[in-house]
Structure 1
Amino acid sequence: MVEVLRPIGAIARALDSIANYEFKDLALAKGQYLYLVRIVEQPGITQTELINLLKVDRSTAARALRKLETQGFITRVLDSANEKNKRLFSTNKGKELYTTIRRENDYSNQTALTNFSSQEAQLLATLLARVEDNISADWSYVKKGNKREY
């Protein structure tokens, strides 16, 4: 069997470690940049939608969002259609950080794809999206309290 998850994990941990180190100066705690980026890119996203997008647990997301709100990077607005939901929006302060975070992401993406043709890069993106879809089903299944059979 071909082992793909170890290199994917190593890449993810390396990039997360780099980002956390470089974003210390931006007053972002570990991993907060992930939440901020998705909120800027998808204004009005709910916490549940964000959790599903990032594949994190509810308590981790709640802590990160609380910190981002306290720091003035995001705001929560009650959903007029369903008052149980709060919609997440970036503040101007958050949008300013997003520019720097986005530059780092673009740089890392370009570095990761060095010596790839555009066709290879597109194929890799397509294949990784399929891997993510495959894993998402298991993530949802386990998050609902189930155990996988293996």
Structure 2
Amino acid sequence: MKLEVNSQILRMIGKISRIINTESNHDFKQFGLKNGQNSYLVRVCEHPGIHANELTAMMNVDKSTTSKAVQKLVQMGYLIKEIDQSNRRAVRLYPTERGKTVFPELIRNENRQIADGFKNFSQEEIKGLEELVKKMSDNYERS
């Protein structure tokens, strides 16, 4: 019996994700960032003081993955961890000056990747795709 995939969409999304990750690893090698560490740093810079648990939920990963990424970013001098004064078991994350310095470059890179991916798209197509991908993401989050 021959089995077939019903759609190539997930494979294309995976391909896009791998291309973006490969480019990011190359672009951020100068900062010592790899394997998605830039995504954690961006989220903390966008939400200084975020709880580690909130970051885990935002990144849609397990706690150990967040813990490893955060620990590495702390060791590299990009983030600091502080115990939450109202909940001594919770940790808040903040970018260091080094993290804040790198942040604009991370955003420029993300914007370049967006521009590259949406070349020859109309604003209507971009908006429509954004809505569809959001709907798809919501479906997976509810699963």
Q: Do both proteins adopt the same fold according to a TM-score greater than 0.5, normalized to the shorter chain?
A: yes
Q: Which moved more, 1:71-80 or 1:100-109?
A: 71-80
How do 1:1-150 residues align onto structure 2 when only pairs under 5 Å count? 1-138=6-143
- Residues 12-32 of structure 1 show CA distances to partners (whole Å, capped at 9, x for unaligned) of 111011101111111213221
Structure 2 distance, partners of 1:20, 1:96, is 18
TM-score, normalised via structure 1 length: 0.87
Partner SS state of residue 55, structure 2: helix
TM-score, normalised via structure 2 length: 0.90
After TM superposition, which residue ranges in structure 1, 4 or more long, deviate above 4 angstroms? Answer: none
- Please list every run of 5 or more consecutive structure 1 residues that lacks an aligned counterpart in the other structure: 139-150
How far the C-alpha of 1:4 sits from its partner, in A, is 1.9
Partner SS state of residue 44, structure 2: helix
Identity %, equivalent residues: 33
- Please list every run of 5 or more consecutive structure 2 residues that lacks an aligned counterpart in the other structure: 1-5
How far the C-alpha of 1:2 sits from its partner, in A, is 3.7
